[in-house]
Amino acid sequence: MSSSLPEGLCDSCAWRRVIRSDRGSMFYLCERSLTDASYPKYPRLPVLTCRGYQRRTEPEPVGRRTRDQS
């Protein structure tokens, strides 16, 4: 997926999830944050170094933002 945002490592990371709001805004959720509080839910971009980085090998799902993700 191409993006105009400077995402750094998150762009190719298996743990990144693209969230689209009803208004068309995009957010990048780090799914590692769901089980490890040391990761930010919405990483400050661009992420240049990350101990949790894992290269994505499959297309990522795109989800809708829900209240519990705010």
Q: Using CB under 6 A as the criterion, what x/- string covers residues 13-42 for binding ligand SF4?
A: x-xx-------------x-x------x---
Please state the closest distance from residue 4 (CB atom) to ligand SF4, in A: 17
> Which CB, 22 or 26, lies closer to ligand SF4?
26
CB 9 within 8 Å of CB 53:
yes
CA distance 13 to 55: 5
> Which CB, 1 or 22, lies closer to ligand SF4?
1
